[in-house]
Structure 1
Amino acid sequence: MPPRAATGRPPVSDVLPSPHIVTVGVRRPGYGSGGKASTIQVNSFVTTIPDGIIHHYDVAHYMLLVVISPTEKTLPVRVNMDLIHALQHDTDPVTFSPPGVYDGRKNFFSVSKLSFGDSREFDVTLPLQEGEKASNKGPKVFKIRLTHVATINTEILNRFVAGKQSHDNAVLTAITALNVVIRMAPTMIYPFNVRSFFTSRERKDIGGGLELWRGYFQSVRPAIGRMLINIDISTGTMYKAGPLLDICLEYIKKPDATYLSPRRGFPDRERLRLQRFISGIRIYTPNPEGRKIARVIKKLSSHGSSDLTFSLRDGGTMTVAQYFKQTQNKPLRFPDVICVEVGQGALIPLELCMVPAGQIMRKQVPPEKTKSVLDFATKKPEDRLTSIKNGLEVLAYGQSEYVRQFGMNVDTTGPLSVQARILKPPVLKYGPGSKQRTIQPSNGAWNMREKRFFQPAVIKNWVLVVYESEKRFGKQVAQDVIDGIIAGCRSVGIQIQPTKVIAWKNGQGDIGAGLKEAGKACVDMYGVGPNLMVIILPEGGNDIYTAVKHFGDVTMGVATQCLKSSKCYKAKAQYFANVCLKINVKLGGINLIPDPASVAALTDPHNPTIVMGADVIHPAPGSDGRPSFTALVANVDSDTAKYVAECGVQTSRQEMIEHLQSMAKNILDKYMGYRTKMEKKGPNTAPKRIIFYRDGVSEGQFQQVLDQELSALKAACQELGINPKITIIVVGKRHHVRFFPQPNSADKDSTGNCPAGTVVDREIGHPSEFDFYLQSHGGLLGTSRPAHYSILYDENSFSADALQSLSFALCHVYARSTRSVSIPAPVYYADIVCSRAKNHYDPQAGLDLSDSATNLDSAQAETSLDAFRRGFKPLNQVQKFLMYFSVRRLLVFAMKNLR
């Protein structure tokens, strides 16, 4: 246990919340004590809480259009920020002294009540930008109305962090106000998104019209006994500054502007791909008076400037190319090249558009750029902490007039040191014939040397299907693969015989028909179809992979194992041993189990337990008409090693799982059926406990989980006539808390990260609710991210130690790996099942499953969603009890969670 304070009273971090306060999740019952004590650093900095009152105003923007009455208009956040800055420093500096802070949308906060009373409107004009000339029509006038809506006594924050105040709207608004205070100064200077801003001090050109900028994330977070500012580095993907034409050519990888001419065969497919990339970019365009006019790109024209005509007021017509030559004295160098369409249908030739610096690309990063982004974003712990410290100079809290005015003092002398513990890893158990049946991982890693699977599968008949030409991937290479798989399987106990069915297929042909032909060849040779198809894929064979998984797993019900051809040439035994980890569970085997003594909470025979993992993934930003996909994964065995999955499709961007009741009922039914038929547990096979890990839910949605998903779980149990006790734990990955070893500490691994099993539940935890941070995996690249566990509901009354050790143990049973993973295996599986949902669609059905942004109106989007719902194919019954989803997805997983 941590030491007591000299006064005899417990340290602030040991104080438990008052019993009278209301919490969303479970009130913290106590702190963990298991494991080896350690002191680490976190990327948080202590800040004082302001004294006194903060005044909250609501902001509404209007644009004054000549003689027309003012009309409320949604403006870009950057324009809103500029308007408020102009209001406070140019329009009426007397009223706004000292200046207040603004979030760019609706909220304005001031340390004093403004002199105008409860509400007032102001006329505001934006100052001219550098190089911009005034319009003959005069400046554009905006009306801004501020309305006083609340006063905030900051004493509630002192009570909240002390565990004596419920988390109500007043607390939430007060925390919001402090966040707006610290973000105000940098957002007036730098490009920004919600909580990060980016500078060009450190950047990297990654090609394709894009570059990466180093950014800094900051967030005020309440903690136990104090308020903290969490600071981290982040990465912004930016459009390059300069001529738009150059960016377009770089994106489509062509050196000559004439390629963008429809007359010369510029394909519509390429034009639409380019349109998706540049739509939404702000550009500067020429004006007859020489003014710079900012416009936003809507789409690209289907014809070149010399072929696009418009009507003149006198009844004649003119082409776009003629217009710019005659009225602006700008003859075009490339009159056949397409134009951009900006507001109200105006067409501007590409060569006349300039892209200003500092524009964030708010779309999915192109897949081919993923590695470049990760390389830029990845920093070793020591380097990351140095960058964070350097970021304090950019943030410059002491120099911000807003931070000073609100009375916040930030301790920037160093990152916060906190109490941590390093948990003991679980004991893992392998099968008979292993030289060492039980092992204890070291820093989240172990090996398969001379070990046999706990329950090896049997490969009855199998085939090898090659989607490479026989010239590149010949018979001898194919035979080497067969020999390698056989040797790998036998070394771990899988029963397998050689196959004589080797089929070379055309990847451009009908994938489903090719797989059926290979299966029929197996029937003709052995009298029975295969229970495994090993597929050799060419480089860039993603479309083939998706089709194989659809026709193999979903339609035919045959397990498929895909291998890249480049990995198979002269592959070593270790490669095929790793392949066997996936094959075994896909065929119903079990690789390893946690030793029952290590996970007593899961293996208590008097309290049979089912562990569930649930997730929802959403389409990429801007991808209208795509659905969201849901997954529920759970163990069916008593050793929590064999998992089954349910997958569904639902309304786009809906976070709560729509069909959780039916999904949970199906899973529970499988659990009871497996225990009855396979484990012979007798008639009483119902679970006594459900531990439900939920991924991907923000703190603001915790109450919805309790209202909707907990109710759905209880309803599923009621349908089945069972009454297990339920525990709900949200696993958060998209946060910016990082652990760093103390300088010269022995508690770090070879990558400089804190060791696997490092847990913190004190200084940086929630002031009143049951949560903890656990870094369960050893470092590989960069700085490891701990997972944040928030316990929302707990009828099982687990202690902190019980849930921390249980969660850590579940990170060691991910079947694909001989390393612990960053989140419990059922949650990881649910994430993978969601991502594989596209395999449930027939590749020939014509549904666009790419992550490219698509601009659709609401009616088109709804029609598209209906098509996705109808086209979703259920999993083949043969695969229902098999772990068909055991795949490696670490790069995609890392990219998804990069913030």
Structure 2
Amino acid sequence: MGDLILSTKDAAAKDTGSQEPEAKENDAKDTIATIPIKHIPVRPAYGTKGKPVVVATNYYDMSVTSQRLLQYKLVPVRVYPPGVTAKNPPIALKGRKLHRIIQLTMEKLDGVWVSEFKDYVYTLNPLTFPNGDPTIRIEYADESRPMEFDVKFTQPTSIDFGPLIKYLTTMKDYSGDFPVYADVISAIGAVLGHTPRSSSNVASLGSSRHFPLNISGQSQPLGFPDMNTIIRGYFQSVRPATGRLLLNLNVSHGVFRFAGPVKDLLKNYNAPGLRNVHRLLGRLRAEVVFLYDHGQPKGSKKGKAAGPSQDKIGRRVSEKTLTGLATRQDGRKGSKPVIQHDYARPSEVSFVLDGDVPAGFTAGAKYTVAQYYKTRYNYTVDPDLPVINAGTKDKPVYIPAEFVTIKAGQAVRRKTTPEETREMIDFAVRSPFANATSIATLGRQSMGLDNSKVLSAFNVTIGKNLLSVHARELPTPSIQYQGQKTANVFEGSWNLASVKVYRAGHPITNCTWVNIQQEGNGRHYDDNDLKNTMEEWRKHMKEKMGIPCSEFKNPNGLHIRLARGEYPEQKIREVFKLLSEYQMVFVVLPGKGTDVYNAVKLVGDTEMGFHTVCVVRDNLLKKSAQYYANVGLKVNLKMGGANHKLREDIPIFKEGKTMAVGYDVTHPTNMAGSDNLPSIVGMVSSTDRDLAQWPSTTWTQQSKQEMLDAEKLRNEFAERLQLWQKANGNQLPDNILIFRDGVSEGQFAQVLTKEVPEMREACKKIYPAKRQPLFTLVVSVKRHQTRFYPTDSRNMTKSRNVKSGTVVDRGVTLARTWDFFLVAHTALQGTARPAHYTVLLDEIFGSKYKAEAANMMEKVVHEMCYLFGRATKAVSICPPAYYADILCTRRRVYMSDVFEGSFDDSSSIASGTQSARIQNASHRNIHSRLKDTMFYI
């Protein structure tokens, strides 16, 4: 891939590594906790199985000196003028306001400092305060409203780098908490992130993501409905590694609101589209031009700190938060303006001037916006552009659109549309080489890693080359179908040619099909052709795949016709009620839109209690045997079958005494009112030695709570054990292998102290007192930022990725912690994302496999990735975690009216009808007839 980008010299060095970066931009409310490292299993050994290879990483070596930083906490308190009552409780300071307050405060002090612009600043030397008082008064002007704050500095905490450097060098004498030296790592992260966070040309999101706003070719407009833009940026994180510190730097993408003159935005919309413009302008930050009175000389007086500035022709420029366009609902307090119609133009918006009025105006008289600007400023506004409200709904401030410019770097807080998603994928999916090149060039430049005065002052140096590490390619397992036939596996994938499912599920003796038509959705088709295709598909499943499916009870199908924009749920419910005794209903969807699909699953899964299998009509009518087979795999799983198995059983499951469990929690993100939408828990468990069937349970809990509710977890885990017992001759498993998906390192402690005890309590209620099962718990994470790149074309796939089965357990891992990265799948495009596995608890592998525990763990996880039932390929994450994620998605489908509803940003989602809708949606549970099946697949 080129010496400019990758260097392989580090692969031969001693094993070095780092733990996986923060698992995700975590939305959970749980406090980050630590746990004594002695409670985390020690890595039993490095793995040895597989073909040795060398891979490059997206890590840089870091050099830091053994020094001390001082950490000051800043506490800003609003100072109110005499006679003004302070707000109680005070409004929390965060985001850009807190950023600016910290910046203004530190400008009054001498010394070198860095900050994430949240709560803390870090310095090399003690700060010297005027008159010795650690309280600094600053003046801050927010949208032209001057405020004063007293910013108090607490006594500094010393952050000593020495113990961390010693530990990483020796890997000895550490008995503290995990994650290791979190305070030191956080301080170094603040040093590295200070430069991009301080730049007005970079938008920083969360703890680690930074997006340059002015680099050509690194963004792309997404078009309608909101004219948003996707920007290529970078994630950076400091990671402790054996023998050194590493900087993890990766390409990241963010979606941002339109930036630029509002008049340019308006060019994209006609009159009916102004409603959408009004919506998208709401709560956007913008620069607003205020003109001087006609005849007033152009001054050059500077504005106050953070307040209005002046452009070069003397007009005053102020930052405002927009409300939207002018509407008839404006002005609920005081003199109400007269708006001829919503989204009106300057000649259609009028208001009364009261009190002291400017020269040329009459108190109590009514003026349009156009008249006001002409009389006061001798300016003729654009008569065709709608008026912008730069005030509030209660107290509007109307500005001609040509004087408003939306500021860059404002992130989108909603779910992207399907069209936007397609555009995003087109822009974001690039070859591994392209991403590595960006990291090594624009990434370093944007993050200020070279020739940085800040890094130099804090004695931090970043290596020049991306690191390379030792890896291994694990052997591919053999896949078996009915009659001991095996599949030909190539690059982690195979097909169903000439094979039948390993074990058919329950015979489908009572089924039919339903065709849903929606005006304006889908291509023209012939009814007879559709009927014949459905029968052809049924025969393919029965004859080619070995799935027993009897003839349709209604050969001609049932048909539902929906008008354009019609809400589909009621008509689907009316037809489905006629089919309540059926086992399975095959549903032909008009297109890929989610509204019809969501209604089908809601009614079928929660109300009727029969399985539904959905196909898109255009795809079905292509009569592809591969399409028939892919959907047929879902059919067999729903009916309790096993599509394929491994020829050589995974050792730990071979005896039929080990149950596997996977669970995940998903949180509402990128939507208005998400703080009151519930988080969703999904849990699956195996019931057979072939790991084919994974019945499930799902529930909701408090919004953005990552840790599972204790009582609910205890009861649902007990139910998983009882299902295993029922399916295995009344026997309970001796071993339970648990995959916990998606928690960050800061939540590992809570998994061990809050969740594991509840699962043990469930076992105590079911098992004999002296025969408790052994637990092994593995955290599986996909939302991290580690990537690997091939360094040799012989170890490369067609998409220029590392090969499936590539495992890395050194170089980017800590020697003591038992974790590894695994690329089990083959990425067809883009850069393959490895899964990261960390063993948090082990009572099985160490005792059973001794010195081979690490090899066996990697083998088990790798081979399980070939047992994802609905695919003929290895998947990127272990199936228990994958199924749990799919289950959470299905539960969210049942609640699509609240998760995908159009709650306004300014509304309180927790009030009135909306709160009732959320409560009602949270109680939509799977029908009892489907409860113990793989209905969610």
Q: TM-score range by the shorter chain?
A: 0.7 to 0.9
Which residue, 544, 547, 551 being the options, matches 1:494? 547
Q: Within 5 Å, which residues of 2 pair with 1:758-773?
A: 758-773=806-821
2:533 partner SS: helix
Structure-1 separation of matches of 2:116 and 2:205: 11
Q: Residues 326 and 858 from structure 1, CA distance in 2 versus in 1: closer, same or farther, beyond 3 angstroms?
A: same
Equivalent in the alignment of 1:247: 265
Please say if residues 301 and 341 of structure 1, whose CA atoms lie closer than 8 Å, have aligned partners that are also in contact: no
Offset at 1:584?
1.2
- Greater shift, 502-511 or 385-394, is seen at 502-511
Q: Residues 239 and 859 from structure 1, CA distance in 2 versus in 1: closer, same or farther, beyond 3 angstroms?
A: closer
Offset at 1:356?
2.2
Q: Deviations over 1:207-236 (max 9, x none)?
A: 132112221211111122210000111112
Offset at 1:547?
1.2
Q: Residues 520 and 232 from structure 1, CA distance in 2 versus in 1: closer, same or farther, beyond 3 angstroms?
A: closer
Amino acid corresponding to residue 868 of structure 1 in structure 2:
I
Structure-2 separation of matches of 1:225 and 1:170: 14
Q: Deviations over 1:308-332 (max 9, x none)?
A: 7578347947577365565555665
Structure-2 separation of matches of 1:861 and 1:24: 44
Equivalent in the alignment of 2:738: 692
Please say if residues 223 and 764 of structure 1, whose CA atoms lie closer than 8 Å, have aligned partners that are also in contact: yes
Please say if residues 215 and 234 of structure 1, whose CA atoms lie closer than 8 Å, have aligned partners that are also in contact: yes
Q: Within 5 Å, which residues of 2 pair with 1:685-834?
A: 685-721=731-767, 723-742=772-791, 744-798=792-846, 799-834=853-888
Q: Residues 539 and 111 from structure 1, CA distance in 2 versus in 1: closer, same or farther, beyond 3 angstroms?
A: same
1:657 partner SS: coil
Equivalent in the alignment of 2:532: 479
Which residue, 46, 53, 57 being the options, matches 2:61? 46
Structure-2 separation of matches of 1:736 and 1:35: 25
Which residue, 437, 445, 449 being the options, matches 2:493? 445
Q: Within 5 Å, which residues of 2 pair with 1:62-81?
A: 62-64=77-79, 74-81=92-99
Please say if residues 623 and 851 of structure 1, whose CA atoms lie closer than 8 Å, have aligned partners that are also in contact: no
Amino acid corresponding to residue 155 of structure 2 in structure 1:
H
Please say if residues 623 and 852 of structure 1, whose CA atoms lie closer than 8 Å, have aligned partners that are also in contact: no
Which residue, 263, 279, 284 being the options, matches 1:281? 284
1:192 partner SS: strand
Offset at 1:411?
0.8
Amino acid corresponding to residue 233 of structure 2 in structure 1:
G
Q: Percent identity?
A: 25
Q: Deviations over 1:288-320 (max 9, x none)?
A: 543111112356654245457578347947577
Equivalent in the alignment of 2:509: 460
Offset at 1:168?
6.2
Q: Residues 123 and 335 from structure 1, CA distance in 2 versus in 1: closer, same or farther, beyond 3 angstroms?
A: farther
Q: Residues 691 and 733 from structure 1, CA distance in 2 versus in 1: closer, same or farther, beyond 3 angstroms?
A: same
Equivalent in the alignment of 2:136: 122
Q: Within 5 Å, which residues of 2 pair with 1:138-287?
A: 142-161=149-168, 162-164=170-172, 165=174, 166-167=176-177, 171-189=181-199, 190-194=202-206, 195-199=208-212, 200-201=214-215, 202-208=218-224, 209-244=227-262, 246-247=264-265, 250=268, 254=269, 256=270, 258-259=271-272, 271=275, 277-287=280-290
Structure-2 separation of matches of 1:170 and 1:707: 18
Which residue, 42, 51, 54 being the options, matches 1:27? 42
Q: Deviations over 1:136-155 (max 9, x none)?
A: x9x76554333333111111
2:722 partner SS: helix
Amino acid corresponding to residue 282 of structure 1 in structure 2:
R
Q: Within 5 Å, which residues of 2 pair with 1:524-535?
A: 529-535=581-587
1:43 partner SS: strand
1:383 partner SS: helix
Number of aligned positions between the proteins: 825
> Please, what TM-score do these two structures have when normalized by structure 1?
0.84
Structure-2 separation of matches of 1:348 and 1:731: 52
- Greater shift, 546-555 or 827-836, is seen at 546-555
Please say if residues 619 and 628 of structure 1, whose CA atoms lie closer than 8 Å, have aligned partners that are also in contact: no
Which residue, 675, 681, 685 being the options, matches 1:634? 685
Please say if residues 40 and 739 of structure 1, whose CA atoms lie closer than 8 Å, have aligned partners that are also in contact: yes
Structure-2 separation of matches of 1:211 and 1:858: 28
Structure-2 separation of matches of 1:73 and 1:552: 46
- Greater shift, 772-781 or 29-38, is seen at 29-38
Equivalent in the alignment of 1:506: 561
- Greater shift, 360-369 or 708-717, is seen at 360-369
Please say if residues 27 and 768 of structure 1, whose CA atoms lie closer than 8 Å, have aligned partners that are also in contact: yes
Greater relative contact order (CA < 8 Å, ≥ 6 in sequence): 2
Offset at 1:851?
6.2
Please say if residues 256 and 410 of structure 2, whose CA atoms lie closer than 8 Å, have aligned partners that are also in contact: yes
Q: Residues 746 and 603 from structure 1, CA distance in 2 versus in 1: closer, same or farther, beyond 3 angstroms?
A: same
Structure-1 separation of matches of 2:660 and 2:263: 58
Q: Deviations over 1:354-384 (max 9, x none)?
A: 2123333243333320111122111111111
1:177 partner SS: helix
Equivalent in the alignment of 1:382: 433
- Greater shift, 856-865 or 802-811, is seen at 856-865
Structure-2 separation of matches of 1:837 and 1:234: 28
Equivalent in the alignment of 2:295: none
2:504 partner SS: coil
1:662 equivalent in alignment to 2:715: yes
> Please, what TM-score do these two structures have when normalized by structure 2?
0.81
Which residue, 416, 427, 447 being the options, matches 1:395? 447
Equivalent in the alignment of 1:892: none
Equivalent in the alignment of 1:547: 599
Q: Residues 66 and 581 from structure 1, CA distance in 2 versus in 1: closer, same or farther, beyond 3 angstroms?
A: same
Q: Deviations over 1:324-364 (max 9, x none)?
A: 56555566545894643645743335724221233332433
CA RMSD of superposed structures (Å): 3.4
Q: Residues 582 and 311 from structure 1, CA distance in 2 versus in 1: closer, same or farther, beyond 3 angstroms?
A: farther
Structure-2 separation of matches of 1:168 and 1:880: 39
Please say if residues 616 and 630 of structure 1, whose CA atoms lie closer than 8 Å, have aligned partners that are also in contact: yes
Please say if residues 664 and 716 of structure 1, whose CA atoms lie closer than 8 Å, have aligned partners that are also in contact: yes
Structure-2 separation of matches of 1:637 and 1:574: 27
2:462 partner SS: coil
Structure-2 separation of matches of 1:230 and 1:862: 46
Offset at 1:47?
0.4
1:642 partner SS: coil
Structure-2 separation of matches of 1:641 and 1:373: 35
Structure-2 separation of matches of 1:35 and 1:225: 25
Structure-2 separation of matches of 1:731 and 1:310: 63
Structure-2 separation of matches of 1:852 and 1:517: 26
Structure-2 separation of matches of 1:493 and 1:618: 41
Structure-1 separation of matches of 2:935 and 2:400: 48
Q: Within 5 Å, which residues of 2 pair with 1:6-17?
A: 11-13=14-16
The answer for unaligned runs of 5 or more in structure 2 is 1-11, 20-34, 293-314, 329-341, 357-362, 847-852
Equivalent in the alignment of 2:477: 426
1:783 partner SS: coil
Structure-1 separation of matches of 2:756 and 2:916: 27
Amino acid corresponding to residue 45 of structure 2 in structure 1:
G
1:791 partner SS: strand
1:34 partner SS: coil
Structure-2 separation of matches of 1:310 and 1:488: 74
Q: Residues 197 and 521 from structure 1, CA distance in 2 versus in 1: closer, same or farther, beyond 3 angstroms?
A: closer
Offset at 1:806?
1.1
Amino acid corresponding to residue 187 of structure 1 in structure 2:
R
Q: Residues 466 and 397 from structure 1, CA distance in 2 versus in 1: closer, same or farther, beyond 3 angstroms?
A: same
2:795 partner SS: coil
1:495 partner SS: coil
Please say if residues 651 and 865 of structure 1, whose CA atoms lie closer than 8 Å, have aligned partners that are also in contact: no
Q: Within 5 Å, which residues of 2 pair with 1:311-460?
A: 312-313=354-355, 316=364, 318=366, 321=369, 327=376, 333=382, 337=386, 339-340=388-389, 342=391, 345-349=395-399, 351=401, 352-390=403-441, 391-412=443-464, 414-432=465-483, 437-439=485-487, 441-457=489-505, 458-460=507-509
Structure-1 separation of matches of 2:667 and 2:511: 34
1:875 partner SS: coil
Equivalent in the alignment of 1:573: 625
Equivalent in the alignment of 1:897: none
- Greater shift, 582-591 or 856-865, is seen at 856-865
